[in-house]
């Protein structure tokens, strides 16, 4: 008797890209009223990358996508769908996803941006994998890319030291596998949430339909921190419970990289050993929608994450939005 197969989206390859210029805390302290000690103690951040001339969200995204396609051994021409998560598009329109499409030389595919700030990659992954499961796509690029340095208020030390620029990408392909998630690979379960009552805790004070300007990032950091720990623990428990898993089953937690203290608190709440958590916030700072795929690519390339590992991806950001996904790599 043949076993029933179901279609899932599998991560066929990963890639990432960073701007040329790396800026340490000590360098920032030359122009901002801050210290390396404060930043490291409160956030775990030691450095971030800042986009320079010619480097934009779309160029970083395209570089990350090229590396992901290369690692998957898939030609750009085979891509039928590009979903790009960003809160810092090159322009209000057209979407940065269509710019990436042009940079990759893809003549015809579906391409659009998704905007859920720091949770953007989880939202984009969910949209792309749903389209793969439904048969609307078979090969997809899912990208998180940001240039937050361009919306930071460099006079506000409470926010400007926290963010960096970069991009991460995954190639998803359709694969028919066992119905039982315990034996399957690919995206196994995703949960997303939003609560718009908290718009005013993390936002940009401009936009095309309000001020007509791009605006700068504003954040009530302490309140965001409090919500982040509670919301992340909640959605992680939800997504694990759906598959009847516990934290003991997780090989790697690949979290949104906002603050090392949030990562520690989340791991503690889950009862997960800190050495099962991928941490890149020290080197990249908070790269918003790019942070999860960037951290994933770092850990795949340095050999920590290997085929067959059970991963949990999670993020929380402005909106608020938050979500988590369980993936067998």
Is 76 a binding residue for ligand UT7 by CB under 6 A? The answer is no
Measure the CA–CA gap between 311 and 14, rounded to whole angstroms.
Answer: 14
Measure the CA–CA gap between 193 and 235, rounded to whole angstroms.
Answer: 8
- Which listed residue (160, 198, 231, 256) is catalytic? 256
Sequential DSSP letters for 149-170: GGG--TT-HHHHTTB-EEEEEE
Selected from 10, 83, 152, 262, the binder of ligand UT7 by CB under 6 A is 262
Nearer to ligand UT7, 297 or 314 (CB): 314
Residue 193 is a catalytic residue: no
Is 193 a binding residue for ligand UT7 by CB under 6 A? The answer is no
Sign of torsion over alpha carbons 296, 23, 258, 64: negative
- String of contacts with ligand UT7 for each residue 33-62, x by CB under 6 A: -x---x---xx-------------------
Residue 109 is a catalytic residue: no
State both tokens at 114. 């998704």
Residues shown for the chain: 329
Is 286 a binding residue for ligand UT7 by CB under 6 A? The answer is yes
Closest approach of ligand UT7 to the CB of residue 288, in Å: 6
CA distances from 78 to 108, 110, 134, 141 (A): 10, 12, 18, 10
By DSSP bridging, strand 81-85 and strand 110-114 are parallel
CA distances from 93 to 71, 90, 164, 201, 213 (A): 30, 8, 23, 26, 14
Selected from 7, 74, 225, 243, the binder of ligand UT7 by CB under 6 A is 225
- The kind and range of the H/E element at 132 are helix 120-134
- String of contacts with ligand UT7 for each residue 158-177, x by CB under 6 A: x--xx---------------
Residue 286 is a catalytic residue: yes
From the list 94-102, 207-215, 224-232, 234-242, the region that binds ligand UT7 by CB under 6 A is 224-232
Closest approach of ligand UT7 to the CB of residue 255, in Å: 11
Is 221 a binding residue for ligand UT7 by CB under 6 A? The answer is yes
Closest approach of ligand UT7 to the CB of residue 161, in Å: 4
Residues 125-164 interacting with ligand UT7 (rule: CB under 6 A): 157-158, 161-162
Token pair 């908070």 is found at: 286
- Which listed residue (109, 118, 259, 284) is catalytic? 118
- Is residue 20 helix, strand or coil? coil
Residues 102-121 interacting with ligand UT7 (rule: CB under 6 A): 118
Q: Point out which residues pair with 187 in neighbouring strands.
A: 327
Interface residue list for ligand UT7 (CB under 6 A): 34, 38, 42-43, 118, 157-158, 161-162, 221-222, 224-225, 228, 258-259, 262, 286, 317
* Residues acting as catalytic residues: 118, 256, 286
């Amino acid at each position: 008797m043949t076993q029933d197969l179901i279609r899932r989206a599998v991560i066929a390859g990963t890639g990432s890209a960073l701007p040329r210029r790396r800026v340490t805390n000590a360098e920032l302290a030359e122009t901002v009223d801050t210290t390396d000690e404060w930043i490291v103690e409160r956030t775990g951040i030691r450095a971030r990358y800042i986009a320079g001339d010619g480097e934009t969200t779309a160029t970083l995204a395209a570089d990350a996508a090229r590396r992901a396609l290369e690692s998957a051994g898939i030609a750009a021409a085979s891509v039928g769908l590009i979903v790009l998560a960003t809160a810092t598009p090159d322009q209000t329109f057209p979407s940065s996803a269509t710019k990436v499409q042009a940079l990759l030389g893809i003549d015809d595919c579906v391409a659009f941006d998704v905007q859920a700030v720091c949770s953007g990659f989880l939202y984009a992954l969910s949209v792309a994998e749903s389209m793969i499961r439904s048969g609307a796509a078979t090969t997809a690029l899912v990208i998180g890319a940001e240039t937050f340095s361009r919306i930071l208020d460099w006079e506000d030390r409470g926010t400007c030291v926290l963010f960096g620029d970069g991009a991460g990408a995954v190639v998803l392909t359709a694969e028919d596998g066992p119905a039982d998630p315990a034996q399957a690979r690919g995206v196994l379960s995703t949960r997303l949430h939003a609560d718009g009552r908290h718009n005013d805790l993390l936002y940009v004070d401009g936009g095309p339909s309000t001020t007509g300007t791009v605006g700068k990032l504003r954040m009530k950091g302490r309140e965001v921190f409090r919500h982040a720990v509670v919301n992340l623990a909640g959605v992680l428990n939800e997504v694990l419970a759906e598959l009847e898993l516990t934290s003991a089953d997780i090989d790697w937690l690949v979290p949104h990289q906002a603050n090392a203290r949030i990562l520690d608190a989340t791991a503690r709440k889950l009862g997960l050993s800190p050495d099962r958590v991928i941490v890149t916030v020290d080197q990249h700072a908070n790269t918003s929608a790019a942070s999860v795929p960037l951290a994933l690519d770092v850990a795949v390339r340095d050999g920590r994450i290997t085929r067959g590992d059970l991963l949990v991806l999670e993020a929380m950001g402005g909106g608020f939005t938050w979500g988590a996904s369980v993936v067998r790599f």
